[in-house]
Amino acid sequence: MSLIQNIGIMTSGGDSSGMNAAIRAIVRTAIHNGIKPMGIMSGYQGMIDGQISELITTDVSNIIQKGGTILKTARNKEFMTEEDMKKAYDQLQKNGIQSLVLIGGDGTV
């Protein structure tokens, strides 16, 4: 049994090839290992606003050939404020997310 029970998956920055394949692999691996994968929509803005929902196998079926990201993505400079970081943290706690998998480039870091 894993100590981590829920993970958040988020894409950020510009779309790039392979994002959906990565999301699919993470979701399927998490479920296989008894971990609940939670999708965070629209990058950091979705984390701040609480746009978070559980992902199941059917959510990631037939997505690897699609471009972009099913979770959508956005750039968000507001996340750099302490107030918005606190809002995002509170949303992660509210949704029981214990670990994050962030898919993106330099802005995601």
CATH of 6-108, one of 3.10.180.10, 3.40.50.450, 3.40.50.300, 3.40.50.12500: 3.40.50.450
pLDDT at 46: 94
Averaged in consecutive runs of 10 residues, what is the pLDDT profile of the chain (109 residues)?
Answer: 88 85 96 97 93 97 90 78 93 97 80
Phi–psi pair at 48, nearest 5 degrees = -65, -45
Q: Terminal CA-to-CA distance of the chain, rounded, Å?
A: 30
pLDDT at 31: 97
Domain ranges of the chain: 6-108
CB 108 within 8 A of CB 102: yes
pLDDT at 89: 96
The model's pTM is 0.91
Token digits of residue 106: 């330099």
| The Cα angle at residue 37 between residues 63 and 109, in degrees rounded to 5 | 85
pLDDT at 78: 67
